[in-house]
Amino acid sequence: MMAPGMLYGGASNFDGVFSQKQRNMYSSTTATAAKEHLGPLFAPACSSSSFLGSSSMVSFRGVNGGKRPFFDSFDQEDNEADEFGEYFHQAEKKRRLTDNQVQFLEKSFGEENKLEPERKVQLAKELGLQPRQIAIWFQNRRARWKTKQLEKDYDELRNRYDILKSNYNNLLKEKEDLTAEVFQLTDKLLVKEKGNGQLALCVVQKHSDASGKETVADPISRVELSNVSAAQVLKQQQQPEDLSSGKSDIFDSESPHYTGGGHSTFIDQDDSAYVLETEQSELSQDDDEKFSKTILSTANQLGKCDDDDFPVTSTNLSYFGFPVEDQGFGFWTY
DNA sequence: TTGTGTTTTATTGCCTCC
DNA sequence: GGAGGCAATAAAACACAA
């Protein structure tokens, strides 16, 4: 790919003399071919300042144990002959910049990572390098900086993600704990109600108004559940379809309050029963509202047994097991 | 010493800006 | 259209373990 001999004193010296296209064109030819084409242009490049610039590219790490300061390269009197020899011996090799040259460039890069033409020439002079070498070094340095920056950004994002994930997991755990506590308290409440010889059971049916919008659930019945355990109630919650089809353990034909047919029984704490029509068509809008208020009021009264700060609303009714999404009948107790 | 992976220097081709 | 920047890549230099 790269022509031997083009590394130093070849393509580098095109800088400031040829356009990039010309640079590319010539850099893809051999050094010999280039010399044939350019002729005299190579002469100044291999002599005086240009040559010195090239000679300073020799890696003194390898040549001189890596300790030779780059300013030594300006010590023309002492080194010119050696460098001249080195140049011809190592012209075909790629040579690294000295530690001091790199240090100098790093410092300059730290001040400003873009290179204006004046600064490029100035740095080239100070370091005894070709302006093009300075430009290449800055370009490569910017690429390295960008890579490092990307790694840094990635690490930072990763850390933030880990923190957020940890917070999320903590919240999830907290939610589970709170849910478990709610169930525990609910169970306690049921036991308490049971101890009083009464347990309220609400059968809720969801309605839709004319526009299809869901409205507040209605209480259909309320029965005495003195001998129904919380576990049974929960089981009922999980199988509401059985209830609507008359398969309920609670509302079967053997239940003391089974009324059969299309009617459900509503029994208040005085054991006085109301017979309510379950057919939606037979319930007026006023009835809907009345029932809604009744169920919310009842639920709130039950809720007050343990927590006054959590009033039951049509919104959170479902949290207590009152469905606002399911169609048809269902049993919920609390 | 040698094989292998990493770093550094440099080229190439494309793109944007003026 | 030229200048300069950038991404991709080549290849030399270097580091290091076996």
A181-239 residue pLDDT tens: 999 999 999 998 888 765 444 433 333 444 444 333 333 333 333 334 444 444 444 44
Can you give the distance from the CA of residue A15 to the C1' of nucleotide C5 in angstroms? 16
**A233-272: buried (b, 16+ CB within 10 Å) or exposed (e) per residue?**
beebbeebebbbeeebebbeeeeebbeeeeebbbbeeeee
Can you give the distance from the CA of residue A169 to the C1' of nucleotide C17 in angstroms? 44
Can you give the distance from the CA of residue A137 to the C1' of nucleotide C2 in angstroms? 22
Q: Is A98 exposed, middle or buried (0-12, 13-18, 19+ CB in 10 A)?
A: buried
Range in A136-140, A182-186, A302-306 the model is least confident about: A302-306
* Distance between CA atoms of residues A134 and A303, nearest Å: 79
Band of residue A94 on the pLDDT scale cut at 50, 70, 90? confident
Mean pLDDT of chain A, nearest integer: 55
Q: Is the CB of A19 under 7 A from strand C?
A: yes
Can you give the distance from the CA of residue A61 to the C1' of nucleotide C15 in angstroms? 13
pLDDT of residue A195: 81
- Tokens describing residue A326: 């399911």
Which has more confidence, A270 or A134?
Answer: A134
A18: nt with nearest C1' to CA = C2
Q: Which nucleotides of B are covered by protein (CB under 7 A)?
A: 8-14
Asked whether the whole model's pTM tops 0.75, one would answer no
